[in-house]
Structure formats: structure tokens, C-alpha cells
Amino acid sequence: MRKFALAGNPNSGKTTLFNSLTGATAHVGNWPGVTVDKREGTYRKLGEPIYIVDLPGIYSLSPYTPEEVVSRNYILEEKPDCVINIIDATNLERNLYLTTQLLEIDVPVVVALNMSDVVRKNGDKIDAETLSKRLGTPVVEISALRQENLDALMEAAVKAASNERKGSTIVSDKDLLHLISDVQIALELKGIENPLFHAVKLVELDELETAMHPDLVETVNKFKASFKNETFGSDFEALIADERYEYIAKNYATTLTKAPKAEDKGEDTLTKSDKIDKVMTHRIWAIPLFVVIMFFIFHFTFSEDLFFLNRIFGLEISHEGWINFFTGMAPEFDEATGELLPLGGIPSIGVWLQSWFGWLTGSVIDWFGSWMPAGQWYTSLVCDGLLTGLDAVLSFVPQIMILFLFIAILEDSGYMARVAFILDRAFRKFGLSGKAFIPMLTGFGCSVPAIMATRTLEDEREKNRTIRLMTCFSCGAKAPIWALLAGVGAMAGFAGDIFVFTIYVGGIACAIIFALFMKLFSKDQYVSPFIMELPQYHMPQARNVGAHLWEKFKHYLIKAGTIIAACTIVIWALKSFGWEDGKFGLLLFEELNAETGEMEWVLHIDGSILAYLGRGLRYFFYPLGCLEGGWTNNVDGWKYVVSTLTGLIAKEDVVATMAELGLDEGTVGLSLAGVYSFAVYNLFTIPCFAAIGAASGEQKGKEFWLTMLWWFAMSYGFALVVYWVGSLYAVAWWGGLLVTLALAGAVVGAGIVVSRRHKAALAQ
């Protein structure tokens, strides 16, 4: 099977092209030993299947980032049959810098001029035929987004792969070229493959090359001592980079014919993206607009009163058929009169789908229970343990997928790149750059790759701060917890969508506050520079969004079928066995139901092993919810404690364990302060075993243990403050307000001190 590699700059449309070529055959993993995404798939429209690897987005083949090292090593060591170099045709000159480096490798190369439709729309024209002659490789104009000319691209790549190609360089300086030739000959004598590429890199004193060929470094250094350039001195890397750009400007960029400037015609010169960015990245309105967008995402996902029709207009639905439709066949009746209770408002699409999915999974459990023998331990294991735990996790799949759908749309449209730019302003003064926010943004999906992505941060102190603040960004595994809490009774007067909104946006705000206090007690004032290319806005592609959702859904199902299933079985065993009347055994007994007058099988979990463990551990968490309505207060307090502890394995286990212990939307009897304390603790605490492993891989010794301590202390301390301040509001609102203002004053004061230090550091 032929093997093609896709290489190109970030935001050049490379991944869009990959998705268009591979479709449902694509799968994502990690490169061996590296946390950079590895995408692989198969193109099947030609006579033979073609294996395609989507290399990480890079600007060069120099070892500045893990992505560049991965891409470079793959091309040199795995020897793909062809490299398809994707170029953003709207930024031709900058993108061709990578092309000049690829052409130095002995590998067939095909250049794909992506976004050619945008070039034409702008009135510009690229002479692809002339560019192809000057590059010495095929050049094909395509649009990955609109799937234009992709078959022609693959046909050109197959044709190019059938012929060997020797590398060539654009370096023209006679002295440098002579040195490169000498080094190339020496490498050829040593039997090194791709000698030209390695020779150029060795002349640049590339750190990977100097480590592999220390014997040739002396030759380069001798020449370096006798060579002097007026502009760059003896900095060969800068000199060769300058030669590349100069050559591109003279020979390649001239194949682009620009349309007459709009300003010459008296027209507006701003593109549509520029006009949108004048609003979306505005110095004042950018963050409020981001907050509004996030609110509507959570409103459409978690609200039980869409557009607040019940709260504002008093809309109620009393028709039984419509109530069944909106609630998934789960109407509520008045306990005293038995009359049907009206439904307050219309549920959001997320709540509606969750209701019906819950009805479906509940029906499956009932079906299993109907034919399995009552009173048997294996029936209890399957129905009360495994299926009940999985039902609690899987019933929230629709809401989680809708949440990821909105996030995928924001990412694919180009807006999420702007969010990093926007938040850079807020983070920079407090010791974190927008570059640190990029891994944190990944944390909304999963903390593990987010923690691993921090290795791209050059400053070790900024890397450590970023890892410690990672739990402020709610990962997808925590979404079932918020979905469950959004529907409990305490949220009746405080809409569930607003609750979830405050968890996500409040987490970002807390990250800034925590970073502020970290900076306050640190002498370090350095903040790494943040340079990011903002892609053009465009309509999200259904294929890309669908592929993103499928990856999330598949990951969720695999986790539910392995880690969560295993955990629910262990929890069932611990809650089902214990002591009753001084005897140890299965706590399943047949008893008379006073209401129905029928005999039923009942599990006495109060005497279980799990109950004894939970009651002992409850005292450690007691301050976080010891009053009425708190999560450590009553006889069920141990259940919440056990649930948070199983969340250390996987955060989905929190909801699965609660379901097994009989805690659901109808039985979670927490006050507003109790709900928030429980939520805050689970948001900020240690994410899961996998995240611990990731942190251990990125931090060593003292720094790792400080991170573990920080995660626990942050969650315990903040949950404590939230619970007691919230409880104070319930007793005397003015007292709660005074404490809140005092805390806000402390944050503002710390912000002023840190901001002044930052300005002073910049002035030096």
C-alpha cells in the first residue's frame, strides 16, 4: 500500500483536506513517545487504497517544537512515497518557506494550493503552471473545504510517487553552497540518506544534526570562523533563512497576480474576517461577547425552560401528550390529589434528548429485570450495579454530544483561535500568556492531552502554573456531574443552564484569580511571548464537525465499557456485602412493601462495607457541607464522599456511583450552597488516574507532588469558602454580601499589585 504524508503550516487547511480524503477511515492516536496527535486514514477512490498520515501543522523542519521534530523524523525515517505539501494560497510567500525545506529531501513532493477558491474570489490569480516549473514539482489548485479538485491532486501524487526524486536547494551564496556541497559529500561517504537536507541543517548548526554528526561540526566551525556576512555575521541559520525568503520573493511569489487594490477604487479594504474581528476581538466587547456565546451554548444544552418562557411569560404545558413528548414519557403527578402537574416551559434540545435517552436506557434495565430471576446476586449485579451505573453515565450522552457539537463548531469556524488571543490580554498580567491558554482550551475536552500539551511552553515556571490550573477547565468527563446537578431540586429557583454556565465560565475566572495569587507570591515576572496566526472565518464543515463528535462519542463509549463498567462492579460488590445482625454476607432481603402490599427484594446498603468506609471518610470532608442541605450532613453524606473518591479513577464514575447508591435528580436533596460546594470540589480536585500519570510525565519530583497538593488544597479550600459564604447568604444576605465584597477586594488588591509589578518589569 502506498503511503502519503500531508505536510503544511497550521491553519493551511491540512486537517480539512485529510478529513475530506479519508472520511470515515480516519482515526486519531498519539505518536510513539510524543503527545502530538497522530491522524491516519485511507483514501480509496483510486484503483489501490492509499494510506495517508496527517503530520502536525508546522512552519519549518527545524527542531523548535515537538510537532516539527515529529514531522521531520517521519519524512526522513518512515520514507513516505510522496509528501503532499498543503499551502494556504492566500498566504503564498510565507507558506513556501516550508516547501523549500521539503524540496531538499529525496522524496517526491506535490504542492496543493489550498483555498484557491478564496484567491479567485479576491480577484487574484496564481500561475500554477509557472510555479510548478520553478519548484520542479507538480502544483495542483484545490479547495479542501469545498472538496474541489481533490481527485486530481491524488492522481498527481500517485504519478509523482512512481518516480524517484533527488533533493535540491535554493541556497545560492557561493561560499555557503560550497560548504554545503563539502558536507554533503562527507555525509554521502558515510552512507547517510537524504545527504543534502542533512548537510543544510548541519551548516545551520541544527541541534539534532550536530548531535548525530559531531565529527563534521568542526568543519562547519572552521568555515564559520573565516566567514562574515555584513547583515547576519556568521549566523548561518539566519543567513540561509534570509536566502530562502529572498528566493521565494523573486521566483515563486511573482507567480501570484494581485487584483487592483480596493483602496485604489475607493472601496473598503477590509476582508469579511477583518470586519468580524473588529467586533469579536474588540478591546472592550470581546470578553462580554465570549461570555454571551458560552451562555447560549449552555442554555440550549441544559435549560429546562428554553428562552425563559415560563419564568418571564408564565408558559405552562398541561396537555398530557405534550408533557410526555417533552419529558420522555415522565410526567409528574401531585402526591395528594393524583392530578397531572403542568410542565413549566419548554425544555432545551439537550434536556429533551436526555429525557428520551434516559427513557430508552431505563427501559432496557426494566427489560433485563423482567426476565432475570428476582433475589439472585447476579440479577442485582447486572440490574442494580452494572446497568444502573452505565445508565447514569450514558443517559447524559445527548447533552454531552450537543455541548461538544457547539465547541466543535466554534473551533472549525475559527473563533476558538480568537478566544486564545482575547484571553491572552487577561492572562498576561497575571503570569500566563495566551500560549498557556491553548493547552487549557484542550482541557475542555480532556485533561490528559491538555497536560501533555504544556510541553510546548518554553518557560518551566509557566508550564507548572498551567498544569496546576488545568482543573479549572471542566473536562468532558465532568459534564455528567453538571447535567445531574442541573436537574436537582435546588436548581428549581436557579435555572440549570445558568448553574452549568457559572461552572464553566466561573472556572475560567478562577483560573485567572489563582494565577494572580501565584504571581503575587512569586518573584518571577517573565511571561513568554504569544504569536498566533488567526485563520479566516468560514462556515464549519459538516465532515470535520462529524469526525470530531465521532471521536468524542467513541472515546466515551470505550471508557464506559471498560473503566466505568469495572468500577460499577467493584462499587456494587462493596455496597452489596456487609454485616446484618452480626453476620457477614449479601445484604439482599425480601420485604413487604407497605404501600403496595407486595413482597420486594431490598438491598440494605447501610450495613455494607462501602457504608462503613464512607462514614469514616465523611468526617474528613465534614466542613464542606455539615449544615442542613450540605453534602456531608445527613445519613446520605457518606454516599457523596464515596462518589467523589471513585471520581479519582474517572470523573464519570461520580455519577455512576451516585446512581448505584440511589442518588439521582429526585433524591439529591442538597441546598444551593450544598450543590455548589459539591460541584466546586469535583471541578478543582485531582481529575483522574490518567491525569495523574500525565502530570507525572511532565513534572518530576517536588513539582509533581506540589501539583497534587495544589489540586487537592484548591478544591477543598474553595469548596469550603463557597459552602460557608453560600450558607451565610441563606441566613443573612447582607452578611454574605459583606464577605463577598471583602473577598473581591482582596482579589482586586492583588491584581493592582501584580499589574504594577508587570508594568515595572516591562519598563526595565
DSSP 8-state assignment for residue 669 = -
- Residue 68 included in any domain: yes
Q: Give yes or no: residues 51 and 184 share one domain.
A: no
Distance CA 582, CA 35 (A): 53
Domain-located, residue 147:
yes
Given pLDDT bands bounded at 50, 70 and 90, which one contains residue 542? confident
CA 749 to chain centre: 33
Residue 201: which domain range? Answer: 178-242
- Total number of domains in the chain: 3
pLDDT given for residue 34 in this prediction? 44
Cell 447533552 -> residue: 399
**Domain boundary at 651, 672, 697, which?**
697
Regarding whether 217 and 150 lie in a shared domain, the answer is: no
Domain final residue, candidates 697, 729, 757: 697
Identify whether 318 is part of a domain: no
Q: How far is CA 534 from the centre of its chain?
A: 18
Q: Is the pTM of this model over 0.85?
A: no
In terms of Cα–Cα distance, which of 428, 441, 438, 443 is closest to 528? 428
- Whether residues 77 and 220 fall in one domain: no
In a domain, 324, yes or no: no
Q: In what order do the strands lie in the sheet with 139-141?
A: 27-30, 37-43, 50-54, 2-8, 82-88, 109-114, 139-141
Same domain, residue pair 148 and 183:
no
Q: Judge whether residue 78 has pLDDT over 70.
A: yes
Are 153 and 188 contained in the same domain?
A: no
pLDDT digits (tens, 9 = 90+) for 127-182: 999 999 999 999 999 998 888 999 999 999 999 999 999 999 999 888 888 888 98
Q: Is 9:56 a contact under the CB 8 Å cutoff? A: no
What CATH number corresponds to the domain at position 92? 3.40.50.300
| Average pLDDT of the residues in 354-380 | 89
In a domain, residue 44? The reply is yes
Q: Give the C-alpha separation, 301 to 645, whole Å.
A: 27
Cell reading at 345: 416551559
One domain for residues 185 and 148: no
Residue 435 within a domain: yes
Both 235 and 298 in one domain: the answer is no
Residue 668 lies in a domain: yes
Which stretch of 306-310, 514-518, 674-678, 760-764 has the lowest confidence by average pLDDT?
Answer: 760-764
Using pLDDT thresholds of 50, 70 and 90, give the confidence band for residue 33: very low
Q: Is residue 625 scored above 80 in pLDDT?
A: yes
Which is more confident, 146 or 594? 146
User: Which residue, chain included where needed, has cell 395528594?
Assistant: 336
Residues 209 and 106 grouped into a single domain: no
Q: What's the pLDDT score for residue 481?
A: 94
Query: Collapsing DSSP states into helix, strand and coil, what is residue 141?
Result: strand
Characterize the bridge pairing of strands 583-586 and 50-54: unpaired
The pLDDT of residue 266 is above 60: no
Identify whether residues 414 and 549 lie together within a single domain: yes
Cα separation, 653 vs 567, whole angstroms: 7
Q: Of the residues 697, 719, 753, which one is the last residue of a structural domain?
A: 697
Say if residue 214 is in the same domain as residue 87: no
The model's confidence at residue 419, banded by pLDDT at 50, 70 and 90, is: confident
What's the pLDDT tens digit per position in 300-337?
988 888 888 888 888 999 999 999 999 988 888 887 78
> Residue 446: which of 752, 61, 13, 35 has the closest Cα?
35
Asked whether residue 61 falls in the same domain as residue 198, the answer is no
Residue 466, in any domain of the structure: yes
Let me know whether 501 and 590 are in one domain: yes
